[in-house]
Structure 1
């Protein structure tokens, strides 16, 4: 579950920022393949313990930048510099399967200044700054969500096991015998003192008989 949430956030942020700043859609097949790769990495590094902010950010930001590089390569490979489809030797290698479908076409159409921005020399730095800034904010959001989930699980475990703990405590506590009336404090203190062994024993055995000897 943690790896799935991480993958959904990483891919959606990276793909959305890339489509907005490049004003071009993304190949749907390449997006699905990259999502599977990010999920595998997140699943291997998720672990069982709660992760801190810098641990999440150290994985989220590099994966976002790697996804942006893959998206740029995919756009150039699938659509070309002029936006044409895959043809020639690329189609024979099976890249047309990765280039099937389009993701973010309505979002790309909404960016009216995207074409002018994509052709400027500052566009790579804008992409880098956007990915790093959004990645740090998303890491903080994931950290808060993970802390909230861990607290919720601890509270649920405490509520679920509390009746069992009470039952175990009732069974393990020794029952207190009632004497009918409360005695005096001196009697209770005297009764609580440990007594020596064989206090009420009567020794009736004498020396052995001579015949038996």
Structure 2
């Protein structure tokens, strides 16, 4: 079976995008306790899908999948943090004042992704300030991102292998 056919390429890219964006979104909302702007998640998903579609021309091994997935997950996390700070401010509340007057309301319109998940974790500002108090937290978060990324890469690699064997 030719796994580089257009319809299979789109399905493979969509699965890759779903995993990267879902892992990034869920972990980010759970750790921060603050929802993500819909526009930020949508733009990230479109960019990841486009990149995955371009690179889905042939079967990839575990190393190549992991080499793409882990940095994309970390990059998505950075973009999500930027979106949260732009729309909700560092304390997790709505941004008011000068940022609102220059059009940030267009970016932040449409509600937040993960709002129910964020409410389950408690107050975002208190949670983030508590997490950032310990310097080892950054290394722990990086290790968690890399570990989850490697597990997801292994899962995707096995799926690639199964699809190729069909």
Same fold flag (TM > 0.5): yes
Q: Which residue, out of 60, 65, 76, partners 2:74?
A: 65
The one-character-per-residue Cα deviations of 1:151-197 (angstroms, maximum 9, x if unpaired) are 11xxxxxxxxxxxxxxxxxxxxxxxxxxxxxxxxxxxxxxxxxxxxx
Q: Aligned Cα RMSD in Å?
A: 1.9
**Equivalent in the alignment of 1:55:** 64
Question: Tell me, what secondary structure is at the counterpart of 2:51?
Answer: helix
Query: Which is higher, the Rg of structure 1 or of structure 2?
Result: 1
> Contact between 2:92 and 2:125, CA under 8 Å: does it hold in 1?
no
Question: Tell me, what secondary structure is at the counterpart of 1:24?
Answer: coil
Give matches, 1:1-213, under 5 Å: 1-47=11-57, 49-100=58-109, 101-112=111-122, 117-119=127-129, 120-121=133-134, 122-152=136-166
Uncovered stretches (5+) of structure 1, i.e. residues with no partner? 153-213
Number of aligned residue pairs? 151
After TM superposition, give the deviation of residue 98 of structure 1 in Å.
2.1
After TM superposition, give the deviation of residue 22 of structure 1 in Å.
1.1
**Equivalent in the alignment of 1:190:** none
TM-score (norm 2): 0.82
Question: Tell me, what secondary structure is at the counterpart of 1:67?
Answer: helix
> Contact between 1:117 and 1:123, CA under 8 Å: does it hold in 2?
no
After TM superposition, give the deviation of residue 92 of structure 1 in Å.
4.5
How far apart in 1 are the matches of 2:92 and 2:101?
19
After TM superposition, give the deviation of residue 42 of structure 1 in Å.
1.1
After TM superposition, give the deviation of residue 97 of structure 1 in Å.
2.2
> Contact between 2:35 and 2:112, CA under 8 Å: does it hold in 1?
yes
Give the structure with the larger helix fraction: 2
With over 3 angstroms needed to count, the CA separation of the structure-2 counterparts of 1:112 and 1:90, relative to structure 1, is: closer
> Contact between 2:60 and 2:157, CA under 8 Å: does it hold in 1?
yes
Uncovered stretches (5+) of structure 2, i.e. residues with no partner? 1-10
